[in-house]
Every structure is written in structure tokens, then in C-alpha cells.
Structure 1
């Protein structure tokens, strides 16, 4: 059990107890020395008086005083009889023995004041130790109140080892976690507000179009052929909204970490080939050619389904912004440190000032010829790629090329 505060307090108690023990030992020694001095003085006076009257008994008197007399018991009993004649008994109060009484009284006073001093020191040590602990607890309580009020600048430091230091460290960790959580909540709130605003803006146009077409179809005099055309236009607008909503839901799930990616080592070349098969019709309609420069197998840890979703958006973007009959180049470079995938088209390109924004949601380049785009595909592709701990960057030159580079780190 490692409780530094308790160990410190026990050490203080041990020191105080040791000091009190030493004090008691010294006090008892002084008492005995003083009693011995006074006894020598009293018996010396008696011996001197007796020796003065009977010099021949001096040696015998010294034998009695030093307990060397052979018949001391007989004389001890006679001495008691003499004392009784003067009213001196063993059970008399010590007050009737002035010399002894003074010694005992002084000794008892020393013991009493020693106990008082020891008690005061013990009380002081306990008070200071408790005050220190409760002051730190009050500091933690005050800091907790400030954190509840939104003030994360509070600092609790505890340089000594022990449970209070552990509590302070846990408190700092809790403060950082709460601050991070509150910051994440604020960012999510801002993001949600921006997303709702963007969704509202993106859905406003197709919904308005559908509403107008529905009003026109309510006109009974409208020819059947025109009604069919309006219904087809409505179907296009509904498809656009469906794609928008689906992509937004995917991005929201990725941002909220609500998707568990099934990452495993798989051949990235096969993943790209399957995406190209899904885009066969689109490639054919635009009369595009694919410049395919990749090895037969490149193993990368990824979720095949979601990576196909990201690459599908990148390739669709390349096709849609290329001239009919153009070319798209796909390259894969594999090294011991990373795998690099390059998708490059030679179409309309992107202005330099617009490059930092092309992965923003709902962003559309000012010179884009694709008017029905909602600007969500590249944002989704970036979210999926970064969820694989990979990197994506874009290079472009207006009316020359656009190159997307995806880098998968192997460590």
C-alpha cells in the first residue's frame, strides 16, 4: 500500500513519539539524580550527627547506609518501631514527607507539561496535515466549478508523489477530455448547422423544379407528351436528390465514426479494375481511353467496398471533366514504405486559387461545365481515403490536366 500522505503523517507521529520518549527518559533521570542528591544530603547530616556523638559507631553507620551490615533486618524492625512512636508509618500521605513530596510534585508537573506539549504538537501536526489535504481538495473543487462554467485555463499542480498527485493528474486528464469533448461538440454543432444550410440550399432548386412541374401537370389541357416529359424531368430531379442524400449520409456516418471499415490486405489493382467495369458504359459514352500502367498485384490494407466508392468518385470526376475522346491515365507505384495511386485526366483543369477548396462539400469550380453537379463526390472520396489513414492531394493546370494522388502508408 503506497499512500505517501499517510506515510508522511505516520513519520511525523513517530518523530513526536520519539521526542516524547526522550523527554520522559531525561525527566526520570533528573528525578532520580535529584532524589539521590537529596538522600545523600539528608543521610549525611544524620551520619555526621551520630558520628559526632559516638565516633566509635561511624564504621557501623556506613555499613548500614551501604547495606553491608550483617544484622540489618533486626535494626530495620527496631527503626520502624521508633518511627511509629513519632507517628511515621508506611501508609502516610506523601505530603507528610516534605522532601519526598517536593520531588514527586516537581516530577509530576514535568510529566504533565510534557504531555501537554506532546498533545499540542500532535494536534498541530494533525491540523497542518489535514489543512494541507483539505486545501488541495478545495482547490480541486474550485477548479471543477470553473470547468463546469466553461473555464479550462485552470491549472492543478502536485509535485509530490502520492494519492493527491494521482488525483491531480486524473483531474488534468479529465479536464483535457472534457475540453476536447466540448470542442468536438461545438465543431459538430457548427458542422451540423452548416450541413443543414447546405442541404437546404441544394434541395431547394430540385424541389422548386418538381413543384413547378407538378403545377403544370395539373393543367388538364396539357398534352400527354408534355406531361410525360415533365414527369421524366421530375424523375431526374428526384434521382439527383437521392444521390445527394445518400452521399451526405455516407459522409455523416464517416465523420461520426459510425462506420466500421472492414480493412484487410487486398489487391488494389483488382479494386480499380472492378470500378472501371462499373464505369464501362460511361467511358464508352464519352469515347474515353484508359492509359493503364499498373503491376499485376499490389497488396494494400483497405475496405474494398468503400475504397471502390472513393475511386468511383475520382474516376467519374475525371471522365466528366475531360473532353470527349480524351484519355485518363492510371498509375500505381509500390515501394516498401508506401503505395501511390495516380488518376490523371487531361481535361478542363482547375484554377490555382480553387484547388484548396475542391474537397469542400458542395463546392463547384467556377469554370465547371458540369452544371448538374452538387459538389459532394470529391468530399466523400477524401473522407473515405483519410479514414484509411491514407493521403490524397490534387495538382492541376487550367486547360491542361488534373492529377489526384492517393498515398497509402505501410507503417
Structure 2
């Protein structure tokens, strides 16, 4: 039995019943001893009077008193007849036997008061236990009201085992779950507000540009060549907004844990090569040489499509910030503990004070030559990599290099 409240109540009840039983045994023993003493006193007086009047019958009288007389039945009947003549018989009320009546009255009083006392003790113990139990219930009720009002500092402790302790533990677990849920809800609300602000801020400029170009195109005297140029500018702005919105939605889904990554052992080399293939035209246009020499297979647990997205953004950043005709180094180091991927360009570099901010959404380095960048690619790459329980760090020196290192832990 694990219910300590019930066990303690049963234990107290057993103790009280035991004490009451002992009390009853003592009372009955006292009653019998008193009855025996009074009987000896009464029969002693009768015996003394009979022996005094008939000394020769002393032995016979003692035989009658000790039930050793051979004529006891005969004399018992004669004695009953004599007593009946004086009004004493079995049907007579006990109140007419003063000595016996006093014994029965005192004995009944002891039993009655014993019952009253033990009944009061039992009621008091039951009241105290129920009061303690309902005090705990009231504490839980009060704590629940405080939690509803947003106060999660309430604490209810229960050091004993039992169902009440289990209820308290479950209540504490529920409180922690509600607190965490409310915290997550506040974070999600703040995250949503931030995303909406980011989208609004980033779309404001291209939308304003498109609006101005449209007003210019409404001018009928505008040459056809300029109209085409404005349409092309609008198309570029629309494409920029489309990329921005798609990347923002990807970052938002990852941060909100709304994406289930299909992680499985896959060749990281193939993932990198697929990313390079998608950037082939961009690499050619910038005349970038790729220093990429590694083994044919390095198995890492990852979601191939999403990791391509992350590596693509790192490579794209390296290409955009490299000088025309520059070089990008890609290197993989595979050990029993970790796999390390390095992507390094030798372009404009980043100032030391700007390094802590480059993974922030919409952050652009002050000296960056890429003016049309929206600053979302590196934030997306970091979110994807960290969702794989991997690490990413950056090292850079202005005018020399920028190196991204991605570390996949194998345990």
C-alpha cells in the first residue's frame, strides 16, 4: 500500500482500537475482582452467623460454599423456596439487589465513558487528518489560481510518499509545462512580430522603387527603351523580393521548429558537389577557381537538401565577396570524433568588430561591396547547421580572407 495518508489513518485506528480493548479488559477484570471481594464479604458474614448458631454444622456449611456437598441439589431447591417466600427469585429486577446493582452501574459507567473518550479521540484524529488533507487541497487550489494569473513562483512541497505527494509532483510538472508553454508562446509572438517587422522593413525599399518606376512608365512621352529598362528594373526588384520572402520563410520555419529534417547518413562530398553545380554559372561569371580536393566519400548524418541550402549560401557569400579571378578553398577533415568542413575565400574580408553580427538577419558589413545583398543567407545557413546539432564559426581579416568552419559532431 503506497497511500501513506490511508496507512497512517489505519495505523492510528488500530492503536486506538487496541487501547480501547485493553481498557475494556482492565474494566472487566476490576468488575470481577470487586464482585468476588463483595461476594466473599457477604458469604463470610452469612457463614459466621450460621457457624455461631450451629458450630457442629461448620464442615457441612463449608462444603455447601465450596460445592462439595453431596446433597447440594436438594438444598438448592429448598433454599430457592425459602428465598421465594421473602420475594427473592430469578425474575426480580436487578435494581432490587442493591449490592449487585451498584457493581453493574459502576461497570456500565466505565464502559460508557470509555466509549465516549475513545470516540472523541477518534473524531479528533480524523478531523486533524482531514484538515491537513484539505489544507493541501486548498493550497493547490490557491496555487492554481495564481498560475492562471501568471504567477509561476508558487511552490508546494510534500516530503511524504503517497497519492497526495504524487498529486503535488504532478501539479509541479503541470506548472513547469504551463510556464514553458507560455514562455514559448511569448517567444513565438515576439518572433512573429520581429519577422513581420523585418519583412515590412525589407520590402519597403523595393516596393517604393517599383511604385516610382510604375509612375514613370505612365508617362506616355517616355521612350520605349527607357520603359523596357524600367520594366527590367522592376523585374529585378520583384526577383529580389521573391528571394527575400522565400529565405525569410525558411528561417522562420526553422526557428519555429516547423520543419522536420530527414537526417540520415549521407555523403557530404556529394552534397557539396551538388551545391557547386547549382552555382556553376555564378562561379564562371566571377572567374572563380575552386580549390577542392578531398576523398570521394565522407559520411555525415544530415538532411541532404537542407544542407545543400546552407552550403550554397556559404559558397555564394564567398563568391560575392571574392575578387574577380579569385580563389575559394574547400576542405574536409574527417576524424573519429568530428567532421570539419572549411569554406574560405581570399576577398575583401570582415572587420573584427563586425564578425559577431554577420549571422544576424539583414546585417550587412559596413565596407561590403555587395550593395544589393539583403543579409539573410548567412542567417539561414546558421539556422540549418545548428538544426543539425552542428557548429559554425567564422574567422576573417580585412582585405585578406574569410573562413567559415562547420563542425559535425559524431557522438
**TM above 0.5, one fold?**
yes
Would you say how many aligned residue pairs link Structure 1 and Structure 2? 411
1:229-308 paired onto structure 2 within 5 Å: 229-308=229-308
Corresponding position of 2:400? 400
Say which SS state the counterpart of residue 42 (structure 1) adopts: helix
CA distance in 2, matches of 1:144, 1:59: 89
Paired residues of 2:195 and 2:252 also in contact (CA < 8 A): no
Q: Which residue of 1 aligns with 2:389?
A: 389
The alpha carbon displacement at 1:183 in A equals: 1.3
- Please say which of residues 109-118 and 53-62 is displaced more in the overlay: 53-62
Q: Distance in 1 between matches of 2:362 and 2:34?
A: 102
User: Cα deviation per residue 1:315-334 (whole Å; 9 max; x = unaligned)?
Assistant: 00011011111111111111
Which residue does the alignment assign to 1:134?
Answer: 134
In 1: Cα distance, 2:159 partner to 2:302 partner:
46
**TM-score, normalisation: structure 2:** 0.98
User: Does 1:354 pair with 2:340?
Assistant: no
Q: What does the per-residue CA deviation read over 1:362-381, in whole Å, with 9 as the maximum and x for residues that have no partner? A: 11111111111111111111
Say whether 1:366 aligns with 2:366: yes
Alignment of 1:139-218 (within 5 A): 139-218=139-218
| 3-state SS of 2:367 partner | coil
**Correspondence 1:298-377 to 2 at 5 A:** 298-377=298-377
Q: What 5-or-longer segments of structure 1 have no aligned partner?
A: none
Tell me which moved more, 187-196 or 123-132: 187-196
Runs of 4+ in structure 1 off by over 3 angstroms are none
Correspondence 1:97-112 to 2 at 5 A:
97-112=97-112
TM-score, with structure 1 as normaliser: 0.98
Matched position secondary structure for 1:56: helix
CA distance in 2 between counterparts of 1:56 and 1:391 reads 123
Stretch of structure 1 that moved more, 237-246 or 247-256: 247-256
CA RMSD in angstroms comes to 1.0
Distance 2:83 2:21 in 1: 39
TM-superposed deviation, 1:2:
2.3
Instruction: Give the C-alpha shift of residue 129 in structure 1.
Output: 0.6
**For residues 349-401 of structure 1, what are the alpha-carbon distances to aligned partners after superposition, in whole Å with 9 as ceiling and x for unaligned?**
11111111111111111111111111111111111111111111111111111
Hey, what does 2:11 align to over in structure 1? 11
Question: What SS does the corresponding residue of 2:262 show, helix, strand or coil?
Answer: coil
Counterpart in the other structure of 2:59: 59
Q: Distance in 1 between matches of 2:399 and 2:59?
A: 138
**Superposition deviation, residue 266 in structure 1:** 0.4
Question: Which consecutive unaligned segments of at least 5 residues does structure 2 have?
Answer: none
- CA deviation digits over 1:281-326, x for unaligned, max 9? 1111111111113222110011100000010001000110111111
| Matches of 2:408 and 2:297, distance apart in 1 | 15
